[in-house]
Amino acid sequence: MKTIKRLSILFFAVLAVINTNAQEKKPVQVSFIYPVGTAGSNSVDYTNHFSFNIIGGFNGGVNGFELGSVANINKGNVNGCQISGVCNVTSGNSRGGIISGVCNITSGDSKGLFISGVTNLTKNQSEGVEISGVANVSDSHKGLQLSTINFVKDYLSGSQIGVVNYAKKGKGLQFGVVNVCSADDDVFPIGIFSVVKNGYYAFEVSTNELFLTSLSYKMGKEKFYSIFRAGIGEHNNKSVFSTGFGFGSIIPIKGNHKLNMELICDALHYDWKWGDNKMNLLNQFNLNYQYQVTKYFAINAGPSLKTFVTNQKENGAFVDVIKMPHTLFEHTGEKCRVAGWIGFNVGVAFSL
């Protein structure tokens, strides 16, 4: 994050020294590399309807179409379509379809479709769709950002899809491995790790009809959070250990009364056997009533719809990895066994 921010500051500092007022308009310009071209060293004084840069051009602006094999650099505004093999650099505002092999850099505002192989950098506000291989960076953004890293310094209004998503505040959706936002905004983070300023972080100790004790860690927002869980039980005098991941949501009802819904998938490890390529998956949907005793302490309880899928066999027969109290449905095939039932879940949660 710091490297991206430093690079963007460097680029924009260079652009800031350029005068952004193009004086005249020309229908066409062709350049080999600045200042070798039809407009010579005066190319920075003209806005072109069509601009063709065999290697790279330095022009006043574009109001139409620009193509460069390496670089397109404009001290004014770009309106229309701009394509380059390496980079598009604009000191003013960019509007339209901007495509490059490496980077698109805009010192002002940007609006439209921006596609780059590495990064899209906008100093001020960006609007539309930004797609890049490594990073999309802007002060504020309205629309969609799609990249490995999406970084909005101030306000997001739209969606971020990537490995790492950051927005100081805003309204919209984050979908990624790591999402960073604030609890005071309307950003909806969906991911494995949701790092939320003043968000929901809690440990829960629970029990159900299968496991004596389960410990869960929850992080994100109350309206949507991630769950990391481990549990231990016993069946046929053998230990059954579980590790799981899921998502949950807490919906206020009235006062201290809340509705807690969670969807969790647990991998069961029978008799402490790990990595034996055996599939023992316990999927469950918990619908709990939650009572907020204090700001940092809550209790919850409710029914749980569970399904269990296993392919673990011994001597050609499926192993009873867990003891199911009853089943609503059950099917045994050649390769796996599936069963479902309604159980219960009771727990206490400690918020941080």
- Rounded to whole angstroms, how far apart are CA atoms 78 and 324? 66
| Region(s) of the chain under CATH 2.40.160.20 | 201-351
Beta-sheet pairing, 224-235 with 46-59: unpaired
| DSSP code of residue 113 | E
pLDDT at 2: 58
Burial zone of 220 (CB within 10 Å; 0-12 exposed, 13-18 middle, 19+ buried):
buried
Residue 237 has what pLDDT?
A: 77
Cβ-count burial 201-217 (b if 16+ within 10 Å, e if not): bbebebebbbbeebebe
Say how far apart CA 183 and CA 305 lie, in whole Å: 30
| Predicted pLDDT at 305 | 96
Residue 16 pLDDT class (50, 70, 90 cuts): very low
- Write down the pLDDT at residue 22: 41
> Whole-angstrom Cα distance, residue 292 to residue 205?
15
> 16-39: b or e for each residue (b if 16 or more CB lie within 10 Å)?
eebebebeeebeebebebbeebeb
What is the pLDDT at residue 15?
47
Average pLDDT estimate for 114-127: 97
Query: Looking at residues 140-161, what average pLDDT do you find?
Result: 97
Which segment of 35-39, 105-109, 288-292, 298-302 scores lowest on mean pLDDT? 35-39
Confidence of residue 256 (pLDDT cuts 50, 70, 90): very high
Q: Which residue has the higher pLDDT, 27 or 274?
A: 27
Q: Look at residue 277 and tell me whether its pLDDT is greater than 90.
A: no
> Which pTM was predicted?
0.85
Residue 349: pLDDT above 50? Answer: yes
CA torsion sign for 114, 119, 124, 127 is: positive
| pLDDT class of 274 with cuts at 50, 70, 90 | low
pLDDT digits (tens, 9 = 90+) for 289-321: 999 999 999 999 999 999 999 887 777 778 778
Question: Per-residue confidence at 114, pLDDT binned at 50, 70, 90?
Answer: very high
Mean predicted confidence (pLDDT) in 161-176: 97
Which architecture does CATH list for 201-351? Beta Barrel (2.40)
Share of the chain above pLDDT 70, in %: 92
Instruction: Name the token pair of 274.
Output: 């790990």
For 224-248, what is each residue's pLDDT tens digit?
999 999 998 887 777 888 999 999 9
State percent of the chain over pLDDT 90.
Answer: 73
pLDDT value at 108 more than 90: yes
Q: Quote the mean pLDDT of the chain.
A: 90
Look at residue 17 and tell me whether its pLDDT is greater than 80: no
Residue 3: Cβ within 10 Å count? 8
Place of tokens 């490297």: 3
47-to-58, 62, 115, 133, 225 alpha-carbon distances in Å? 11, 5, 23, 30, 51
